[in-house]
Chains A and B, each alone.
Chain A
Amino acid sequence: MIRFLFDRDTWQEVYDSMSKNKLRTVITMIGVWWGILLLIGLLGSARGMENSFNRLFGSFATNSVFVWGQSTSKPFKGFQEGKRVTLTLSDAKKVEENVEGIEFVVPRNQNSSLVVRNFLSGNFGIAGDFPLLDQVQKKKLLHGRFINQSDIDNKRKVAVISEDVYKQLFEKDEYAIGELIQINNSNYSVIGIFDVGNVNMGPSDDIHIPFSTFQQIYNQGENIGWIMITGKPEYDIKQIEEDAKLMLKNLNRIHPEDKRAFGSFNLGNEFGKLTGFLKGMQFLTWFVGIATLIAGVFAIGNILLITVKERTKEIGVRRALGATPFEIKRQIVVEAVFLTLIAGLFGILTGGWILIALDSAFGQGPDATLVNASVSILVVFIALLVLVTLGTLIGLIPAFKATSIKPIEALREE
């Protein structure tokens, strides 16, 4: 068998039978070529989109939900409806301790204030934060550092400012770390500058100051604006949201059915829809690609069947000269596999070119829609394996057809 594959005559035969009808050979191969092209092109693009999402959300704990207080919509235990609901630090702590599957609960406060430095000023969002925020929403620091525990403990007046704030309050190339800025008429020293990045959830955070400092300055007491809850990867964030809300309702004497008391935004859920869409797209790609492939391979089988019919007499002559049925079948199967493989390789090549073209069109720069649109070698390998298998299987049909009639009948054919 090995020798057969390396025999020049084997390939001479394949070449002869293909070149006898070039147009038909080409048309036959188009199906398989197109199937592989679709598979490579679409899978690569889907991967590119996934990569680009991952890049966007990479620094963000996506399995998370934001919860804030609103006002009640149902009277409960002597309270009228319309009661204002405000979350407190002890709420956050209890949720963290009691709801299953929680990784972090990050309490946050926000306000908007006038910020002044020398003669420059602007209105910015001021957030009171714990160092923990940096873990669930990784800050891309250009200079300096983020808030740490000692800032919290000592209620330091320090600020981490965004690049935009820096641009508005500082001269170009001015060194900002350690400089003072005025927020609500008190001085803060700048300890870090961060890049805002591509994705921001909730109101814009221009300046982060220690949570404890915020509490004091704005007279917040134990109250907090909202909490960000992140779930462990294996837990369903939707369930965590429900559990947390129910618990918060109990703690705040709110009717368990009250839908308005707490507002929330479930990022995990939204993100899940997105990745679900991507997964769906990949599945569809596989489905469409494989279906096209199978159709293409069937076309090859069909053409070979016609060819075999046309060559009945020739096959009869070969058998009279001593070709065994196995030798006849083997040749036809090799032709089928060869056709599918060549068509498939062309498909992989053109698919690759398309991905390269897509990459240079949409894959450049930090905001690219497609990041590293590509397919793994494994996918290519699997595709080739599927092709060879399908080619062999489909080749068996004309092969058996060719040897199904007696040599004498084949010879009689005109």
Chain B
Amino acid sequence: MLKISQLHKSYPIGDSSLHVLKGIDLEVESGEMVAIMGSSGSGKSTLLNIIGMLDEADSGDYILDGVPIKNLTEKKAAIYRNKFLGFIFQSFNLINYKNALENVALPLYYQGLKRRERQEKGKFHLKKVGLLDWAHHLPSELSGGQKQRVAIARALAADPKLLLADEPTGALDTTTSYEIMEFLQQLNDEGKTILIVTHEEDIAEMCKRVVRLRDGVIMEDKKVNQVRASQYV
């Protein structure tokens, strides 16, 4: 699904620069559910953003679904993001003046789908996350867990190959976090490849593989026995 080798990234800070990623090698197969762990500031988000083509590496190779990702124009990057990737953010990033359905249908708009199709697909995915009854509510009328589920539905709308979640449970309480994880596990069971950035052990244990970052390199990369979130809910 994706293959990264010798990936470097540094940020300029004043006159010097901060070397955040110092040669990352990572391979993820289709159908995996990977947790990217590490303390705050270890470069988890940086890595995920590069994978998500929101940011660019300084050096190294990155191949996504057989396509080498290098020197993309913004237009190409946008098209790839739209086709391959679904993003889930810690702060949900729903558009506040659009209702749940409109939010979910937004990626489909940029896919150039007709309005009817967008509405149908949007409803289908809202139903999947159990929020069809909330289709016409604004984000401000939803709870944190509901917002994140709308965000997940939005990430799924364009039927991406890879889901990227940056601390998806970071803004939620434990119970709600587990509900979200249960849902992500379900998606993974159905075959979706999922990358989750987290710094919480319990969340990482609910994935099938844990990759630990420290000082800009992968310190540990192991398969784990997945803890099913359903047993806590």
Contacts and interface: CB of A to CB of B under 8 A. Distances in A.
A14 to B, nearest CB: 12
A317 B93 contact: yes
B174 interface: no
Contacts, number: 61
A313 B93 contact: yes
A214 B111 CA distance: 94
Given A325-B74, A325-B78, A8 B115 contact: yes
B115 A322 contact: no
B158 interface: yes
B97 A322 contact: no
B54 A407 contact: yes
What range describes how many residues of B lie at the interface? 20 to 34
Given A319-B78, A323-B78, A324-B75, A411 B111 contact: no
A318 interface: yes
Interface stretch (B79-87, B141-149, B195-203, B216-224): B79-87
A20 interface: yes
Dominant SS among interface residues on chain A? helix
A230 B25 CA distance: 97
Contact of A320 (B79, B81, B97): B81
A321 B52 CA distance: 11
A411 B93 contact: yes
A270 interface: no
Nearest to B92: A317
A403 interface: yes
A319 B80 CA distance: 11
A403 B74 contact: yes
B110 A322 contact: yes
A5 interface: no
Given A320-B54, A408-B54, A325 B154 contact: no
A325 B110 CA distance: 11
Interface in A290-342: 313-314, 317-327
A406 B53 CA distance: 10
Closest 6 A/B residue pairs (Cβ)? A322-B82, A324-B78, A408-B54, A322-B110, A321-B107, A408-B55
Interface of B: 49, 52, 54-55, 74-75, 78-79, 81-83, 87, 89, 93, 95, 97-98, 106-107, 109-111, 115, 154, 158
Interface of A: 7-9, 16, 20, 313-314, 317-327, 403, 406-408, 411
15 contacts: A8-B115, A313-B93, A319-B78, A320-B54, A320-B87, A321-B82, A322-B82, A322-B111, A324-B74, A324-B79, A325-B74, A325-B75, A403-B74, A408-B49, A411-B89
